[in-house]
Structures are given as C-alpha cells and as structure tokens.
C-alpha cells in the first residue's frame, strides 16, 4: 500500500490508514491532493500579485514624488522673482517715449536742441570765465552767479545728450541704473539751483534795502557757506530720493512717457507701494520749491517797497535794473517747477508736464547767461574789454 500511494503527501496518510481498501476513497485522496496543489498555486500567485502590487505602489509613489518635485520648481521661480522684486527690479531697462514719434519733427528737434545745448554750454562757461578773470566782478552777487552758471551747464548736460542720442539714432532705451543716475543728478542740480536763486534774491534784498551794511552782511565766509549749503542740500535730497527709488520694484510696464528720467514718471511705473516715496517727494517739493519761492517773493516784496521809496527816477531805474534780470529768471523757473512737482502723481499729466519741464531743463540754462550778461552793465563792460583785448592780440 505504501508502494501504491507513495506519491500522496504525508498529511493524507491518516485518511488512507482509516480507509485502506476503498477505491472511492483512494480516488478522493488523489482529487484532494490536486485540489491542495491548486490551492498552493493560488496562494503563490496571490503572493506574487501582492509583490507586484507593492512594486507598482512603490513606482507610483516615486513618480508622485518626482511630479511633486517638478511642481515645486515653479514655486522656486516665483520665490526668485519675488526676491528680485524686493531687491531691485525685474525690469533692466526703460523706454523713453520722448517728445514726439514723428521722424520729420525729430530731425528738427535734434538740430534745435543741439544749438540750444551748444549755446547753453558756451554762454554759461563764458560767464564763469568772465567772472573769474575780472576783479571787478569778484563780489557776492557774481560769486553766486558763477555757481548758478555751473549748475545750469551741468543740469542741461544731464538731460540733453541722452535726448539728442534718442533723436539721432532712434534708440530710446535707458538702463535701470542709468535711469536712477539721471534722476540723481537732475534732482541734485534742480535743488541746488533753487537754493542759489533764493540766495541771490537775498543778496539783492540786502544790496537795495541795506546798502551801507552790504559788505558787512554779505561777507566772503557767508557767501561760501551759502554756496556749500546749496550743494550739500542738493546732494542730500537727491541721495534720499534715488535711494528710495532703488527700494521699489518695476515688474510691469517699462515705458516712461518723458524725454528723461524724473521722479513722478518713474513712480508711475512701479508695482510697489509708492506712498512713502510720494510723501517724501511732496515734503521735499514744499521745503525746497514752495519755501524757496516764498523767501524769494518776500525778498522782492521788500525790494519793491524800497524802490518806491526812492525819490529820483534814475535811482529807481538803477535799483530795479539790478534785480529785474533775476526776477525774470525766478518767475520762469519757480512757476514751472511748482506746477510740475507740487501735485500728487494720481493727477500727474505726463503729456502736459514733459513739455512744461522744457522751461527749467532746457530754456532756463540757455537764457540765464543771456539775461545776466545783456541786462547787466558791469558784465557788458567787462565783456567789451575782453573783446578789445582779443582784437589787439590778433592784430599783433
């Protein structure tokens, strides 16, 4: 019996021992053995399937991790962009629209501004040379006038060369830091000129209202302190505004509706909160423009009252001629500056203001040496002497 059923597993020996001679039982044992082997195969297949499911789950988890890792890349890019916005700007250059887009008008403006720039440089540096070379003009008024001429030559150099390049080559782009540098120097020369014009009005007030005490009041030390103070105030104010502009972010439009970089049009392009910049700009405008204009008008109020007290007509003409040229320049300059800057940026009309800014950025540096030379008797006399000496030198 052991020889006949030797292939049966050991766990069926008990059943065979209980029913040794039954053929039905023998066949049943064989069927059970096949059933158990199939059951084992099913268990093995189930284990294999479980392993395969585990592998699939592991692969799915890895792919999910990879996909999550890929999704985090845009978040990193956004963070980098936010970092750039917080630091300086996502924009690396600005586009200056200029005064017009017509090629024919641009050619005319190019030659017009070229002549204006050359005339401004020649007139202001000639006036500085005459004041420095002639001992007759070594007075407080002409010392302040020499500083004003220097400021005019530098201020027009800040804006006009870039404008000429734009008109000639039609390349109207400027780098981000180039724009900030232009803002810095333009504000520097703007505030310095305001302070010098106010100090010149004070000089005329002392000369007409207190002529006997003029040399005591307007000493060399005071004139030097006034000039240095004007330059220091200009440097400080421009450093504050330029530093505040560097803290802003420019991530949307880069088109400046102006022919040079100025604070109001640049603030309009920022995607940051510019309320603090606008507040500081308004405070600076009130202090330097309105306060300076108030002091100047007050000085000329006292001057006019003193002129009307003079009995002789010749005395009135002489007193008025010494301050009329300065009054013309002040009326041009302060009216344009106050109209441009003493307003919030929300109501700031760039199309109108960029043409008005030509008065204090281009016209004033050109007419200053003309007014102070043609309407000043002492300057004309010194200029005639230099012309006569030049002719004598050429003859010999």
What would the pLDDT profile of 276-318 be if each residue is shown by its tens digit? 988 898 889 888 888 888 898 898 888 888 888 877 777 777 7
Q: Is the pLDDT of residue 68 over 60?
A: no
* Selection from 193, 116, 184 nearest residue 147 by Cα: 193
Q: Looking at residue 87, what is its pLDDT?
A: 43
What would the pLDDT profile of 98-112 be if each residue is shown by its tens digit? 888 888 899 999 999
Q: Looking at residue 125, what is its pLDDT?
A: 94
Q: Looking at residue 48, what is its pLDDT?
A: 58
Q: Looking at residue 230, what is its pLDDT?
A: 94
Q: Looking at residue 384, what is its pLDDT?
A: 79
Q: Which residue has the higher pLDDT, 23 or 222?
A: 222
Distance CA 32, CA 26 (A): 10
Sign of the CA dihedral 286, 366, 116, 235?
negative
Q: Looking at residue 148, what is its pLDDT?
A: 93
Q: Is the pLDDT of residue 199 over 60?
A: yes
Distance CA 156, CA 161 (A): 8
Distance CA 226, CA 295 (A): 15
> Residue 320: which H helix or E strand, with range?
helix 313-341
Strand order in the sheet with 255-256: 173-175, 93-96, 255-256
pLDDT band at 24 (very low <50, low <70, confident <90, very high): very low
Domains of the chain, residue spans: 93-394
Q: Is the pLDDT of residue 76 over 50?
A: no
How many other CB atoms sit within 10 Å of the CB of residue 167?
A: 24
Name beta bridge partners: 94: 174
Find out whether 230 and 195 touch, Cβ atoms under 8 Å. Answer: yes
The whole-number average pLDDT for the span 330-339 is: 83
| b/e map 323-349, b = 16+ CB within 10 Å | bebbbebbebbbebbbbbbeeebeebe
How many other CB atoms sit within 10 Å of the CB of residue 201?
A: 22
How many other CB atoms sit within 10 Å of the CB of residue 366?
A: 19
Q: How far is CA 161 from CA 183, 198, 251, 371, in A?
A: 14, 28, 28, 24
Q: Is the pLDDT of residue 262 over 80?
A: yes
Superfamily of 93-394 according to CATH: Rhodopsin 7-helix transmembrane proteins (1.20.1070.10)
What would the pLDDT profile of 239-251 be if each residue is shown by its tens digit? 999 999 998 888 7
Q: What is the SS3 assignment for 72?
A: helix
Residue % of the chain over a pLDDT of 90: 27
The number of residues in the chain equals 396
Q: Looking at residue 2, what is its pLDDT?
A: 43
Sign of the CA dihedral 107, 109, 114, 115?
positive
Residue % of the chain over a pLDDT of 70: 72
CA end-to-end distance (rounded Å), the chain: 154
* Selection from 231, 258, 245, 226 nearest residue 184 by Cα: 245
Distance CA 357, CA 341 (A): 10
Q: How far is CA 43 from CA 32, 33, 34, 37, 55, in A?
A: 16, 15, 14, 10, 18
How many other CB atoms sit within 10 Å of the CB of residue 19?
A: 13
Six-digit token string for 15: 């059943």
How many other CB atoms sit within 10 Å of the CB of residue 260?
A: 22
Q: Looking at residue 179, what is its pLDDT?
A: 92
Distance CA 214, CA 207 (A): 6
Distance CA 373, CA 371 (A): 6
Distance CA 124, CA 115 (A): 14
Q: Measure the CA angle with vertex 98, ends 95 and 102; round to 5°.
A: 115
Q: Which residue has the higher pLDDT, 324 or 260?
A: 260
Find out whether 380 and 134 touch, Cβ atoms under 8 Å. Answer: no
């Amino acid at each position: 019996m052991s020889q006949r059923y030797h292939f049966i597993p050991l766990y069926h020996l008990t059943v065979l021992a209980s029913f040794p001679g039954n053929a039905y039982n023998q066949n049943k044992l064989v069927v059970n053995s096949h059933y158990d082997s199939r059951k084992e195969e099913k268990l093995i297949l189930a284990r294999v399937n479980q392993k395969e499911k585990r592998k699939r789950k592991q692969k799915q988890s890895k792919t999910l991790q990879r996909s999550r890792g890929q999704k985090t890349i845009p978040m990193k890019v956004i963070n980098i962009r936010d970092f750039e916005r917080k630091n300086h700007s996502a924009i690396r250059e600005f586009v200056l629209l200029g005064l017009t887009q017509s090629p024919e008008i641009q050619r005319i403006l190019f030659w017009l501004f070229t002549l204006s720039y050359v005339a401004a440089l020649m007139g202001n540096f000639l006036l500085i040379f005459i004041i420095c070379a002639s001992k007759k003009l070594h007075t407080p008024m002409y010392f302040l006038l020499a500083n004003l001429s220097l400021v005019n030559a530098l201020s027009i150099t800040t804006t006009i060369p870039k404008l000429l390049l734009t008109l000639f080559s039609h390349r109207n782009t400027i780098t981000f830091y180039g724009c900030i540098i232009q803002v810095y120097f333009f504000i520097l020369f703007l505030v310095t000129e305001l302070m010098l014009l106010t100090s010149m009005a004070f000089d005329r007030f002392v000369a007409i209202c207190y002529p006997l005490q003029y040399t005591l009041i307007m000493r060399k030390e005071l004139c030097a302190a006034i000039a240095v103070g004007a330059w220091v105030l200009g440097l400080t104010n421009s450093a504050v505004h330029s530093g505040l502009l560097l803290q802003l972010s420019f991530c949307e439009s880069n088109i400046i509706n102006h022919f040079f970089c100025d604070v109001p049009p640049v603030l309009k392009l920022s995607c940051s909160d510019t309320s603090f910049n606008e507040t500081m700009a308004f405070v600076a405008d009130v202090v330097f423009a309105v306060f300076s204009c108030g002091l100047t008008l007050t000085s000329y109020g006292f001057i006019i009252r003193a002129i009307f007290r003079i009995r002789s007509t010749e005395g009135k003409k002489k007193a008025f001629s010494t301050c009329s040229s300065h009054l013309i320049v002040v009326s041009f300059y302060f009216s344009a500056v106050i109209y441009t800057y003493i307003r919030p940026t929300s109501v700031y009309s760039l199309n109108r203001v960029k043409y008005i800014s030509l008065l204090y950025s281009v016209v004033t540096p050109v007419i200053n040496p003309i007014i102070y030379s043609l309407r000043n008797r002492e300057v004309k006399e010194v200029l005639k002497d230099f012309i006569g000496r030049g002719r004598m030198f050429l003859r010999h």
